[in-house]
């Protein structure tokens, strides 16, 4: 997958030229050109959060083109990360992360995964230890069909697709179809974003 670095910061561009020497990448500093590239083909876009618009409309328009966004932040924090995950980005990390971690993030995103900086994952796990009120979960799940509700409840218990398929006696493919429908109804893009909806 083609990698694009979106930046107007000459120091950052210089850093990326050194860090990404083993990758095929392009540097773009105009949003119009970036959008055209994303419209043409699947791309991974690495960008500094400070170069995004405040309301993230720039990011939304790129995600609509199925671009894989890697957002880097000089001071990454949990609330911003949560907001970006809901939006549909694929990576959120420290702008000055080590060479090895940046490459690990790029490879993970290339494989279709989400990559998040370790402290974000740790804080998410800490927060997920506290179950939301069961009656408030029931209320939120009312928009789902009976089968989707069963699947959603097992997702909230953090069961894997295999465990859900075994427990409900359905195929993994069916579990994936149900979870896709569930995420669409809750307007989230992935499992983590769905779980975050049910945390205090």
Model pLDDT for residues 35-55, shown as the tens digit of each residue: 999 999 889 999 999 888 666
CB 53 within 8 A of CB 74: no
Angstrom CA distances, 169 to 150, 161, 164, 176, stand at 12, 12, 8, 14
CB 62 within 8 A of CB 35: yes
What are 124-143's pLDDT values in tens digits? Answer: 766 765 555 677 788 889 99
Pairing verdict, β 2-6 and 25-28: parallel
pTM of the model: 0.68
End-to-end CA distance of the chain: 37
CB 62 within 8 A of CB 82: no
Mean pLDDT, residues 13-25 taken together: 87
Q: Give the model's pLDDT for residue 106.
A: 93
């Amino acid at each position: 997958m083609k990698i694009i670095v979106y930046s107007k910061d000459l120091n950052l561009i210089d850093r990326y030229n050194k860090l990404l020497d083993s990758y095929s990448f392009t540097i773009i500093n105009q949003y119009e050109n970036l959008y055209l590239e994303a419209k043409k083909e699947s791309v991974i876009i690495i960008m500094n959060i400070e170069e995004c618009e405040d309301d993230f409309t720039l990011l939304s328009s790129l995600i609509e083109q199925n671009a894989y966004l890697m957002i880097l932040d000089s001071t990454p924090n949990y609330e911003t990360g949560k907001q970006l995950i809901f939006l549909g980005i694929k990576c959120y990390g420290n702008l000055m992360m080590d060479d090895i971690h940046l490459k690990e993030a790029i490879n993970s995103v290339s494989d279709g995964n989400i990559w998040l900086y370790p402290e974000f994952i740790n804080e998410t796990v800490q927060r997920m230890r506290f179950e939301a009120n069961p009656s408030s979960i029931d209320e939120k799940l009312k928009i789902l069909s009976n089968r989707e509700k069963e699947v959603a409840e097992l997702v909230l218990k953090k069961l894997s697709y295999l465990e859900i398929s075994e427990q409900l006696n359905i195929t993994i493919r069916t579990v994936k179809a149900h979870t896709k429908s569930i995420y669409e109804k809750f307007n989230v893009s992935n499992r983590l974003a769905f779980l975050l909806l049910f945390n205090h």
